[in-house]
Homo-oligomer: A and B are copies of this chain.
Amino acid sequence: MADSKVHRSFHPTPRTLMGPGPSDVHPRVLAAMAQPTIGHLDPEFIGLMEDIKSLLRYAFKTQNTLTLPLSAPGSAGMEAAFANLIEPGDKVVVCINGVFGMRMAENVRRMRGELVTIEDDWGTQVDPQKLRDTLAAHADTKVVAFVHAETSTGVCSDVAALCTIAREAGCLSIVDSVTALGGIELCVDAWQADVVYSGTQKCLSCPPGISLITFSDAAAERVKARNTAVQSWFLDLSLLMAYWQGDGGRTYHHTAPVNAMYGLHEALLMLHEEGLENAWQRHRAMHDLLFAGLTDLGLNFVVDAAYRLPQLNVVSVPEGVSEADVRTQLLEEFNLEIGAGLGVFAGKVWRIGLMGYAARAENVKLCVSSLQNLL
């Protein structure tokens, strides 16, 4: 095929990433990923896999055996949760208060589950009472699914409360913690959440591309007891575990993304070095700094402080200001990326992330001073 186009090596302009993700990647993680590729069955790589699983258990605060990275982005983590837990005809209650709850509902449809939805307004939490009422009306529900940290709205829902309601109704829970892990409290075992997934590109200071998932024993039992094959071969937990398990030989499934795993390992190691609780505290402190700075500029935060995510700040665009123009100017003049609104928030808000390595004082100062300059 003739190709007359001139192609050149790509060299990105370094940016400060304060959108909804990806967030700033730590230089240690970038350096780790540039190390020579080794075989995915190399004893050294198998040792790395073990260490990643151990560090993931630390990050999720769980002792779940089935805790592993998946070789695809966060949305594949979501699909893996639904594909493995749900069989055709299973009734699933999905709590929707933003884009990612809607995506969960779509996953249930694709798995041919029987979908029941609960809706809460964008910018508010999932209402525990609505879940209680819905489960009372749908006693045959098998799974309850909801989003911990809604990336589209900046809202934190009460995982412990919702998991308790689900469990008391005899349901397993699926929790989307993509934007939560490493940034705010997440205690998988203490909260008795059943399937929790996350991603690398938010509060872990790591590039996008890998999802992280953990299954409680009850969830693992449900997967084992399936009557039908998991729809996806690539995301079939039983095959994945045969590849990722530590005891004895590993069964080839796919080829793990070796260099991405180097990066994930370094990012998890850094979280371990900092300490999970310290990382949560840092995200909170940086949020307080950003809140003070933006409030001084007269900007309003959309989400109530009681359930506002510190790591994802949704701010109203002032009247008469072009939402998109400001973002473009921030990118072009300050190399600073912030996020646009999605769905009902499109054109009305900015989403300002403070995630992982991006959650540091110089970023907050850059963001506040740049916005001051433009507004």
Contacts and interface: CB of A to CB of B under 8 A. Distances in A.
A24 interface: yes
A241 interface: no
Interface string A6-44: 011111111101010110110010111111111111111
A13 B38 contact: yes
Nearest to A236: B110
Given A12-B38, A33-B33, A259 B55 contact: no
| Residue among A51, A255, A337 facing the most chain B CB atoms (10 A cut-off) | A255
Q: Which 3 A-B pairs have the closest CB atoms?
A: A209-B257, A34-B34, A72-B72
Contacts of A209: 71, 209, 257-260
Looking at chain A's contact residues, the main secondary structure is: loop
A232 B233 contact: no
Contacts of A342: 252
Given A1-B58, A30-B34, 18 more contacts: A7-B272, A9-B266, A10-B48, A14-B36, A22-B258, A25-B36, A25-B259, A30-B259, A33-B33, A37-B207, A72-B72, A74-B254, A107-B233, A109-B229, A209-B209, A209-B260, A231-B232, A257-B260
Given A22-B39, A72-B72, A110 B232 contact: yes
15 contacts: A5-B51, A7-B55, A7-B272, A10-B51, A17-B37, A21-B255, A30-B36, A42-B331, A72-B73, A73-B255, A75-B255, A79-B234, A199-B255, A209-B260, A259-B263
Contacts of A40: 22, 208
Nearest to A30: B34
A269 interface: yes
A10 B46 CA distance: 12
A110 B39 contact: no
Given A57-B1, A106-B233, A252-B342, A73 B257 contact: yes
Nearest to A256: B208
A307 interface: no
A62 interface: yes
Nearest to A13: B44
Interface of A: 1, 3, 5, 7-15, 17, 19, 21-22, 24-25, 28, 30-45, 48, 51, 54-55, 57-58, 61-63, 71-76, 79, 103, 106-107, 109-110, 189, 199, 201, 207-210, 229-234, 252-260, 262-263, 265-266, 269, 272, 331, 337, 342
Contacts of A103: 233
Given A10-B262, A30-B36, A254-B75, A1 B231 contact: no
B22 A254 contact: no
Contacts of A38: 12-15, 17, 337
Contact of A8 (B28, B41, B230, B269): B269
Contacts of A22: 37, 39-40, 255, 258
Central interface residue in A14, A231, A254, by most chain B CB within 10 Å: A254
Nearest to A201: B255
A15 B42 CA distance: 10
A33 B34 contact: yes
A210 B38 CA distance: 16
A263 to B, nearest CB: 8
Among A42, A43, A109, the one with the most B-chain Cβ atoms within 10 Å of its Cβ is A42
